[in-house]
Structure 1
Amino acid sequence: MTAAQADLHIDSPTVADGAALWRIARDSKVLDLNSSYSYLLWCRDFAATSAVARDEDGQAVGFVTGYVRPDRPDTLLVWQVAVDAAHRGRGLAAALLDGLVARAVAERGLSAVETTITPGNTASERLFTSFAERHGARLERTELFGTALFPDGPHDPEVLYRIGPLSASGR
């Protein structure tokens, strides 16, 4: 953790964090925004596979949401990563991702992380590429969902990033 992150605490989200996660996602202007209801459900049903960063006042300032894939119980799918604008550029997204994955590996024995990234989302590409490098894990990229699969208008393809194997030591 860097000195800039020292005043922040990372833990699991609670339902009370749902509204803040929705606002952070909305304000990112990059993420596909889900309904506020979905963030409340996410904080209730997937808190064990998600993480939130809190400032010194306990307010959520960043998050990672994820779930264990039902058909691949060794794999954590990272759904969204977002950091409040006032806290960007401090390595908080990487700290959130590292912390969540370390917890998931230790508690659930997971060995891989997946996420999808649209081409041109440079911040996410860097985040997950550097995560793989820090953890000495292989990174594979394949198109998961092509543009034509999205029924609600133009949407960039979603490229699947699969990172693993991960070790319990985290390095």
Structure 2
Amino acid sequence: MTPVTNSTTPNSGPAAVTFRAPTVNDAPRLWQIARDSRVLDLNSSYSYLLWCRDFRDSSVVAAHGDNIGGFVTGFVRPQDPRTVFVWQVAVDENLRGHGIAASMLNHLLDHLAHQGVTRLETTISPGNTASQALFTSLARTRYTSIARQRLFDPSHFPDQHESEELYTIGDH
């Protein structure tokens, strides 16, 4: 895969935000942003290191200055190379409200389109209305369809996790 290229988007935040592929050195900050979100499932710090090494070409970080202010972790599904599965999206609390999450997702989809990716999948728990709004808006702004179906019930999880619904954006 071709690495995610750098790009900048204007925003009303404190500084211009640059999007790029994550590096292993970014992993501790991704872990911190996920932890501080108090919404995302916090994976081990080791998993963020592996994500930044092994799935960097299908993930994005938002840098403002020398700081990482947000990230999208994803992978192209081995069983369906037309589909990117987005694992987590997070923006630092101080940068929320400036469209950074949507911009990262659009950047990722634009980058992966050159590799034949035409569809995005993600799972969202029924109570996560912010993520539901983000991905519904993404489908609308990209003039494409969105579908939702139950994927995992609480009985699938050993830790009392909520159910997860699969959202599919793009061709079906």
Q: TM-score, normalised by structure 2?
A: 0.91
Deviation at 1:121, TM superposition (A): 0.6
- Distance across 1 between alignment mates of 2:171 and 2:141: 13
Deviation at 1:55, TM superposition (A): 1.0
Deviation at 1:136, TM superposition (A): 1.1
Consecutive unaligned residues of structure 1, counting only runs of 5 or more, are: 167-171
Aligned positions of 1:9-158 closer than 5 A: 9-56=18-65, 58-106=66-114, 108-152=115-159, 154-158=160-164
Alignment RMSD: 1.3
Aligned counterpart, 1:160 = 166
Count of residues in Structure 1 that have an aligned counterpart in Structure 2: 163
Give secondary structure in 2 for the equivalent of 1:161. Answer: strand
Give secondary structure in 2 for the equivalent of 1:3. Answer: coil
Deviation at 1:165, TM superposition (A): 2.2
CA contact (8 A) 2:69 2:95 kept: yes
Query: Residue deviations 1:86-137, cap 9 Å, x none?
Result: 000111000011101110112x111100000001211100110000001111
- Distance across 1 between alignment mates of 2:139 and 2:16: 26
Give secondary structure in 2 for the equivalent of 1:30. Answer: coil
Q: Which amino acid aligns with 2:69?
A: V
Consecutive unaligned residues of structure 2, counting only runs of 5 or more, are: 1-8
Give secondary structure in 1 for the equivalent of 2:81. Answer: strand
Deviation at 1:51, TM superposition (A): 0.1
- Distance across 2 between alignment mates of 1:118 and 1:140: 15
CA contact (8 A) 2:10 2:16 kept: no
Q: Percent identity?
A: 52
CA contact (8 A) 2:120 2:168 kept: yes
Matched, 1:4 2:45: no
- Distance across 1 between alignment mates of 2:51 and 2:96: 23
Q: Which runs of 4+ in 1 moved over 6 A?
A: none
- Distance across 2 between alignment mates of 1:40 and 1:17: 8
